[in-house]
Structure 1
Amino acid sequence: MDRLRTPEDRFAGLPGWPYAPRFHERPDGLRLHYIDEGPRDAARTWLCLHGQPTWSYLYRRMIPVFLAAGDRVVAPDFAGFGRSDKPTDDAVYTFDFHRQTILDLVEALDLRDIVLVVQDWGGLIGLTLPMAATDRYRSLLVMNTTLATGDAPLSKGFLDWRAFSNSRPDMDVAALMRRACPHLTPEEAAAYGAPFPDATYKAGVRRFPNLVPDRPDAPGAALSREARSFWRERWTGRSLMAIGMQDPVLGPPVMRALHADINGCPPPLEIAAGGHFLQEWGEPIAREAVKGL
């Protein structure tokens, strides 16, 4: 497959990001970036999955809390994002392609005692992972995401976001993050744009909103319904939900519906000032998660 690889110098000196890059190579040669910090024999491994149009940098306020607890943190970049390779053909990006790539990484690293940490597309994909290997997962931390099962209408907030994204094939990621997270410094906002020198690198960004299953026979819909049943009926691990109350896309109504689908999930943390990219308000969430998961 044709792919692009963001020049490494674009990732030099990113604020709050001292972590060494690591790479997992698929059999087809596509290279997936991840960070892997903390002791390999830690009691917990936090598997942190980002969404669109971000990358693992989104977790930089939470990772230090997990590491200070003596735990391991693995935070990959989905294909098309961050330091991962970026296929240029939009058609490469499918629900199954993204899911299988993360499943393969979990297997390759033989991750155990996983605390699954998800938000946005990190949840649409990530919430389908544990049923494939239930013995690997111990806990869940879920933030501003959903399971798109194709048998319920998508929220107006998401539909508006999809229309916005589709109207901007060369989305200014840094500017978007500045608007969504007003507390970001210019350097932090620029770090979100670092993976994308120009529009040719943004096929993955463009595709994600259009992959959300929106009908019962859409790719990923049946798998998401199976995941919904898993979380309702088979999940026995600990869970914590945090809701960014200012999120117009996957905010309180969507999250409360998801909360009802997670067996044994306690009342959610409500982050009053938090927006869609809730990890940017994530340090206190991480502290609660370390205590309870």
Structure 2
Amino acid sequence: MQILSYDPKRFADLPDYPFFENWSEIDLGDGHMGRMHYLDEGAKDAPPVLLFHGEPSWSFLYRKMIPILLDAGFRCLAPDLIGFGKSDKPDDPSFYNYARHVDWLKQWRNAVVPQDAALFCQDWGGLLGLRMVGDEPDRFSCVVASNTFLPTGGTPSPAFLMWREFAKSSPEFAIGELLQRATQSERSAAEIAAYDAPFPDEPSKAGARAFPQLVPVEDGMDGIEENKAAWEGLAAYDKPFLTLFGEDDPVTGGLGDQLSGRIKGAEGQPHAMLSDCGHFSQEDRPQELAQGVIDMAHKAGFLA
């Protein structure tokens, strides 16, 4: 197996992404080490907010929310998951599993921002972030979740099964076009190129192809028991918890009520289904999402 590093030339002149590079060394397992790239914008002593992306995006997804959150007084931290963005990419799809992704992200969090933090998570950012909240609820001041869930088996939707099969077997796996199709607003050619930038060839897409296969939506899959255990802490989480879901997402759009209905801190919060908003809600409704984070942080007393 090879650990692939990013080509800086592919990331030149990214639109609306004037952020500095930061790096953290990660023990990938089986004797492999890798570098995780992350954004760290704002004053180091400001209240931190963690911004977790999902499949198959990267921290570029948060370029519209970060300026709003910085103006509100946050320190914004957005990692690129291993296999995505500028982070290193093992080229073997079988190397990726749910437990490793959780461990890699926890390594990053413990090294970079071990203190209490707010969380915004979407897609696999929620499968990882909500697991972390359930495991260590005292480390999160408030949470805003969008188009995500913490699954524990059951029966997957036909839409998800189609996506899982497409990611696994489609000969064409054009990441930028996938982002285009899963948003309601139009991406520019430069934005589509930015989403393609991390993936110059098929080996670099190993993590992106693997992710949908790892979602524990069917009984017996890896991660179900760990997620059930995490749900105990997540359900009891009594700090502000808000769901803002895109109503035009055919895969996860209907999961907002299921998520908010099980979490103590979600009671009485202004949960919303956002119109004209697809799966990648950060592209379609960044202002509303950022404001949700700001409002929850104020409610928690985390943001002055």
Calculate the TM-score normalised by the size of structure 1.
0.94
Residue 79 of structure 1 aligns with which residue? Answer: 82
Residues 20, 169 of structure 1: alpha-carbon distance in 2 compared, 3 angstrom cutoff:
farther
Residue 121 of structure 1 aligns with which residue? Answer: 124
Residue 175 of structure 1 aligns with which residue? Answer: 177
Q: Structure 1 CA distance, aligned partners of 2:58 and 2:200?
A: 15
Superposition deviation, residue 288 in structure 1: 3.0
Is 2:107 the partner of 1:134?
A: no
Superposition deviation, residue 74 in structure 1: 0.7
Q: Structure 1 CA distance, aligned partners of 2:191 and 2:104?
A: 28
Which whole-Å deviations, capped at 9, do the CAs of 1:103-125 have from their partners, x for residues lacking one? 01111013323111111111111
Runs of 4+ in 1 over 4 A off after TM superposition: none
Equivalent residue in structure 1 for 2:72, among 69, 74, 79: 69
Which whole-Å deviations, capped at 9, do the CAs of 1:115-151 have from their partners, x for residues lacking one? 111111111111111233333211001000111112x
Q: Structure 1 CA distance, aligned partners of 2:219 and 2:271?
A: 29
Within 5 Å, give how 1:1-293 maps onto structure 2: 2-27=2-27, 28-42=32-46, 44-150=47-153, 152-181=154-183, 182-232=185-235, 234-252=236-254, 254-265=255-266, 266-280=269-283, 281-293=285-297
Which whole-Å deviations, capped at 9, do the CAs of 1:167-226 have from their partners, x for residues lacking one? 325410111222223421111111111000111100000000000113443211111111
Q: Structure 1 CA distance, aligned partners of 2:207 and 2:53?
A: 13
SS at match of 2:115: coil
Superposition deviation, residue 46 in structure 1: 1.0
Q: Is the 8 A contact 2:241 2:265 kept in 1?
A: yes
Percentage of matched positions with identical amino acids: 38
Residues 193, 256 of structure 1: alpha-carbon distance in 2 compared, 3 angstrom cutoff:
same
SS at match of 2:265: coil
Letter in 1 for 2:23: F
Residues 267, 159 of structure 1: alpha-carbon distance in 2 compared, 3 angstrom cutoff:
farther
Q: Structure 2 CA distance, aligned partners of 1:78 and 1:169?
A: 24
Q: Is the 8 A contact 1:244 1:272 kept in 2?
A: yes
Q: Is the 8 A contact 2:133 2:234 kept in 1?
A: no
Letter in 2 for 1:264: G
Which whole-Å deviations, capped at 9, do the CAs of 1:23-65 have from their partners, x for residues lacking one? 11124321111111111111x2111111111011111111111
Moved more, 198-207 or 123-132: 123-132
Residues 111, 73 of structure 1: alpha-carbon distance in 2 compared, 3 angstrom cutoff:
farther
Which whole-Å deviations, capped at 9, do the CAs of 1:54-88 have from their partners, x for residues lacking one? 01111111111111111111100111100000001
Residue 302 of structure 2 aligns with which residue? Answer: none
Letter in 2 for 1:235: Y
Which structure 2 residue ranges, 5 or more long, are not aligned?
298-304
Computed over aligned residues only, the root mean square deviation of the Cα atoms, in angstroms, reads 1.5
Q: Structure 1 CA distance, aligned partners of 2:80 and 2:171?
A: 20
Letter in 2 for 1:242: L
Superposition deviation, residue 284 in structure 1: 2.0
SS at match of 2:193: helix
Q: Structure 1 CA distance, aligned partners of 2:172 and 2:83?
A: 14
